[in-house]
Amino acid sequence: MTKVTFVVRAQTQGVTAVTCRGFEPDPTMHSSMALTSLVVCADAKAVPLLSRILSDLGIGVEHCEDAPTALARLATQPFDALLVDCKDEPAAIGLIANARRAPVNRATLVIAMVDGRNRVRDVFARGANFILYKPISLERASTSLRAARALMRRERRRNQRISVHAQAAIDYATTENAPATVVELSESGMGIQSEGKLPARGKVYFQFSLPGQAGSVRLSGDVVWQDSTGRVGIRFADVPQASRRVLGQWLQANLTRSSDGNNLPSASVNPLAGLGLLSVSSADRRERSRHACQLGAEVYRLGSNVPTRCSLSDISTGGCYVETTDPFSSGTAVQIVVRTRDIKLRIQGTVQAVHRAFGMGVAFSLKTAEEREQVQQLIALVAQPPELSSLVEP
């Protein structure tokens, strides 16, 4: 991997001369790093510390001191993570926004380095996924970046798509049990062949069975794109735990089979190959990146002390999906309580979507930096490997 370093020479008449040169990889770095990062920071103390942590985590590091140089790299080179110092907040926000518009980095995990002078809400709104508070400490940065690495790996897996041929029944608006065929599947969505045009807005509900799986899959999704031939890209919205388990088992088995070079269980030709099936908009990706989970929780109507015991099946910085057979009505103000070994998260929100006997989508009302940080910690926790799942109380 070619890296770039910037050597600052003497400042003359208010202009700092900068030389850009390549250098060989540090011999202490891992020789085969699958994940890559770009650190945009001019702090002489923070950069070596971050580079060391990232390298120890098996993440390749490239460094730029200024936003214009970083933007040129982001336009052409994909990175799994972008670490941005928000000392110059307008420049940092502009860099994040431009990175999201670059096709090769629209799904990049963005980690913003902030202090008390930054408007953290604005930084999140413009596309940051994680926050590192300055001054950067070894212990705190190591914990956060380790969690971020788990999300980077998950994002890599989300982008892997497998061909399949499964008949499905779909419901939407005033239509029930319309026929369709699932032709491509990933962790975050699927490609289908539909006999009719689907609504551009509003949930579409699916039911289908996968080859070799006894249980059926029932879920809802949003239309990302469709063409005149009936090909449709679907992004998953609400997936119950049982369906998520069936999907996960099938994907894991067939991803392994695919990597071993064996034939997949579908004999059909995949008409969606190479068409960018799950090209999610940058605004949706940065603000509503969802993470599958299986968390026991209690939900209260605001002002009530009567709990409804339920499960959270996915979570993002903007909200979560609550699985319950008795969902509250849309617009209900609620309080959600989740307990783990390390934190007790108590957060308010509003019911946005209701699916009778199925569950409800809740939008969070994050009022303080502490609440936002707790949600980040919970997201980081559910992204940990399975052996760490015992940290979450049932």
Q: Evaluate if residue 279 carries a pLDDT over 80.
A: no
Q: Evaluate if residue 138 carries a pLDDT over 70.
A: yes
Instruction: Pick the range with the lowest mean pLDDT from 269-283, 328-342, 355-369.
Output: 269-283
Q: pLDDT-based confidence at 356, cuts 50/70/90?
A: low
Region 133-141 average pLDDT = 89
Q: What are the Cα distances from residue 318, in Å, to 87, 142, 343, 364?
A: 25, 25, 19, 6
What's at 98, amino acid-wise?
N
So what's the pLDDT on residue 62?
93
CA–CA dist 239, 173 (Å, integer): 19
So what's the pLDDT on residue 26?
35
- Measured from the Cβ of residue 380, the count of other Cβ atoms closer than 10 Å reads 18
Q: Is the dihedral of CA 161, 167, 171, 174 positive or negative?
A: positive
CA–CA dist 121, 367 (Å, integer): 9
**DSSP calls for 368-388:** SHHHHHHHHHHHHHHTS-GGG
Q: Shortest CA distance to 242 belongs to which of 98, 358, 120?
A: 358
Instruction: Pick the range with the lowest mean pLDDT from 158-162, 218-222, 296-300.
Output: 158-162
Check residues 51 and 273 and name the one with the higher pLDDT.
Answer: 51
Q: Evaluate if residue 6 carries a pLDDT over 60.
A: no
So what's the pLDDT on residue 48?
94
Half-sphere exposure of 243 (CA within 13 A, CB side): 21
So what's the pLDDT on residue 85?
95
- Helix, strand, coil percentages in the chain from 3-state DSSP, rounded to 5: 30, 40, 35
What DSSP designation does 259 have? H
Give yes or no for a contact between 315 and 290, defined as CB atoms under 8 angstroms apart. yes
So what's the pLDDT on residue 391?
37
Mean pLDDT of the chain: 77
Q: What are the Cα distances from residue 272, in Å, to 144, 192, 230, 277, 279?
A: 37, 9, 11, 7, 13
Region 42-52 average pLDDT = 93
Asked whether the whole model's pTM tops 0.75, one would answer: no
Share of the chain above pLDDT 70, in %: 77
Q: Give the domains, in start order, of the chain with CATH numbers.
A: 3-158 (3.40.50.2300), 162-277 (2.40.10.220), 290-391 (2.40.10.220)
Burial of residue 267 (CB within 10 Å: 0-12, 13-18, 19+) is exposed
Q: pLDDT-based confidence at 271, cuts 50/70/90?
A: very low
Residues found in the chain: 394
Q: Evaluate if residue 313 carries a pLDDT over 70.
A: yes
Q: Evaluate if residue 388 carries a pLDDT over 70.
A: no
CA–CA dist 262, 284 (Å, integer): 35
So what's the pLDDT on residue 383?
67
So what's the pLDDT on residue 278?
30
Q: Evaluate if residue 9 carries a pLDDT over 60.
A: no
So what's the pLDDT on residue 301?
95
Q: pLDDT-based confidence at 156, cuts 50/70/90?
A: low
pLDDT digits (tens, 9 = 90+) for 215-244: 889 999 888 888 888 889 888 888 888 888
Q: Evaluate if residue 361 carries a pLDDT over 60.
A: yes
Instruction: Pick the range with the lowest mean pLDDT from 128-132, 243-247, 342-346.
Output: 342-346
- Measured from the Cβ of residue 224, the count of other Cβ atoms closer than 10 Å reads 19
CA 219 to chain centre: 19
> What's the alpha-carbon Rg for the chain, to the nearest Å?
22
pLDDT digits (tens, 9 = 90+) for 240-269: 888 888 988 898 888 755 544 444 444 333
Q: pLDDT-based confidence at 151, cuts 50/70/90?
A: confident
pLDDT digits (tens, 9 = 90+) for 79-90: 889 999 999 999
Instruction: Pick the range with the lowest mean pLDDT from 79-88, 136-145, 340-349.
Output: 340-349
Check residues 99 and 255 and name the one with the higher pLDDT.
Answer: 99
